[in-house]
């Protein structure tokens, strides 16, 4: 199964966009990663999901027995993981160079 990866184009900076996400969505997980780090999103059976990203495209995205594994790019990126049947709850992982 190939995960759906959708880019979001934003004109606001990454820190401002993160603040916007927390204000607008019900963020159930907010995880800061180092550039090049890996994040795993747990998958629920029979649930369609979408992975959105802002900034650089993730290096690698794959599904295995542990869930959706994403390798962050070496530059900044924000990932937004969302189940299609629950559009207001999202999980966010990000790596932003200060």
| Residues 81, 41 contacting (CB under 8 angstroms) | yes
Mention every residue, 6+ apart, whose C-beta is less than 8 A from residue 35: 72, 73, 74, 75, 76, 95, 97
* Domains of the chain: total: 1
Q: Beginning with the edge strand found earlier in the chain, give each strand of the sheet holding 77-83 in spatial order.
A: 5-7, 49-55, 77-83, 89-95, 26-32
pLDDT at 3: 80
- Residue 1: pLDDT above 60? no
Domain interval for residue 17 = 5-95
pLDDT attached to residue 98: 58
Where residue 82 sits, what CATH number does that domain have? 2.60.40
Cite the DSSP H helix spans in the chain. 14-24
Model pLDDT, residue 97:
74
How confident is the model over 43-71, as pLDDT tens digits?
999 899 999 999 999 999 999 999 999 99
Q: Output the CA–CA distances (angstroms, integers) from residue 98 to 1, 2, 37, 91, in the order listed.
A: 35, 32, 16, 22
pLDDT of residue 55: 94
Mean pLDDT of 29-47: 95
């Amino acid at each position: 199964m190939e995960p759906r990866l959708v880019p979001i184009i934003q004109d606001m900076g990454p820190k401002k966009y993160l603040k916007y996400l927390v204000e607008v969505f019900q963020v159930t997980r907010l995880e800061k990663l180092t550039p090049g780090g890996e994040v795993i999103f747990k998958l629920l059976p029979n649930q369609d999901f979408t992975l959105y990203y802002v900034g650089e495209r993730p290096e690698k995205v794959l599904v295995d027995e542990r869930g959706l594994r994403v390798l962050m790019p070496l530059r900044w990126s924000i990932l937004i993981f969302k189940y299609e049947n629950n559009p207001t709850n999202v999980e966010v992982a990000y790596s932003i160079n200060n």
